Amino acid sequence: MAKIKNGFKGERFVSLPEQVLEEYAKEPLIGNLYLRMIGYFPRVKYHYVCKEEGCDYCMLIYCTDGKGWYEINGIRYLVQKDEYIFIPDHTPYAFGADNTDPWTIYWLHFRGKMSHCFLPTYPNPQAILPDDYSRLQDRMQLFEEMYKSFSMGYIREYMLYASMCLYHFLSSFICLEQYRAANSHNEKPLSFSAKVIHYMQENVQHNLTLTELAGVFKYSASHFSMLFLKETGIAPITYFLRLKIQKACQYIELTNLKLRDIATLLGFEDAAYFSRLFNKITGLSPSAYREKVLKK
């Protein structure tokens, strides 16, 4: 069986040379907690990493789709969608993607005098399940800010900002209840369609089917579709695809991501289909839309 560390279709990751990181580690505002490497791997079949001697950095892996596994202290754990793990430094470990349903992961390596403060007591995977105030997309937006800043880390201020974001990002995992409560100011009960739309927004990177959506809300596909259509005037999957393209427009306007990377981030395995759908909904191809934005 093939075993691959990196080099996957649609992957994104960035690192800085060790000598640069060593200099930053001397600065109090950076040296207490800072990134070594950060990345995103989508549906990475045959992904496998084994560190028999451990590493001199801690690691966070956040699985947003598919499945994987990891071994630490002689125990193997299953890692599923909407679960994360922290891997401590100087500890032997191995991890990899499931062979039939390979994971999609956001991951990062971090170091610093305070890095151990963010490690859990127990190594088993922890779940982050969507709810009305789950803020999954807020966390992804923070990841993108951190990624972009770290990619410009040769400039001190960008590295500093990446480190400050890292505190917030890690806290969104270990202080999950507080992270969600900080933005749960809507006191009115959400309508059925509002709950569905929120779930769609939080899972915009996934390829949800009508049956899957209906299952989340404990309805048959036909009844679910009827209820959503009655409240919104639009079919659920049509609405979901429009949300995906709306998110794609935000990525085009606010980031320098390549169009094929945007397609991958939003769960489109076929870039040509993404382009056709984008054109159908906006009246422009993704490249024409970017050109229009740049002219503005």
C-alpha Rg value of the chain to the nearest Å? 20
Alpha-carbon gap, residue 265 to 65, rounded angstroms: 12
The CA–CA distances, whole Å, from 180 to 195, 197, 227 equal 16, 18, 28
Q: What is the mean pLDDT of residues 22-32?
A: 95
Model pLDDT for residues 46-60, shown as the tens digit of each residue: 899 999 999 999 999
In the chain, DSSP assigns E strands to 12-15, 34-41, 48-51, 58-65, 67-72, 75-80, 83-87, 93-97, 104-111, 126-127
The mean per-residue pLDDT over the stretch 233-248 comes to 92
CB 103 within 8 A of CB 66: yes
Residue bearing tokens 């430094």 = 89
The 104-111 sheet, strands edge to edge: 12-15, 34-41, 104-111, 58-65, 83-87, 126-127
Query: What's the pLDDT score for residue 180?
Result: 78
Report yes or no on whether pTM surpasses 0.85: no
Task: State the Cα–Cα distance between residues 118 and 287, nearest whole angstrom.
Answer: 41
What value does the mean pLDDT take over residues 259-282? Answer: 90
CB atoms within 10 A of CB 122: 7
Among 117-126, 132-141, 144-153, 259-268, the least confident range:
132-141
Q: What would the pLDDT profile of 213-239 be if each residue is shown by its tens digit?
A: 999 899 999 999 999 999 999 999 999
Provide the pLDDT for residue 128: 86
Residue 72: how many other CB atoms lie within 10 Å:
18
User: Which band of pLDDT confidence, cut at 50, 70 and 90, is reported for residue 1?
Assistant: very low
pLDDT band at 254 (very low <50, low <70, confident <90, very high): confident
Average pLDDT value for residue range 17-44: 94
pLDDT tens string 88-114 = 999 999 999 999 999 999 999 999 999
Helix, strand or coil for residue 37? strand
Write the pLDDT tens digit of every residue in 4-23.
Answer: 565 667 788 999 999 999 99
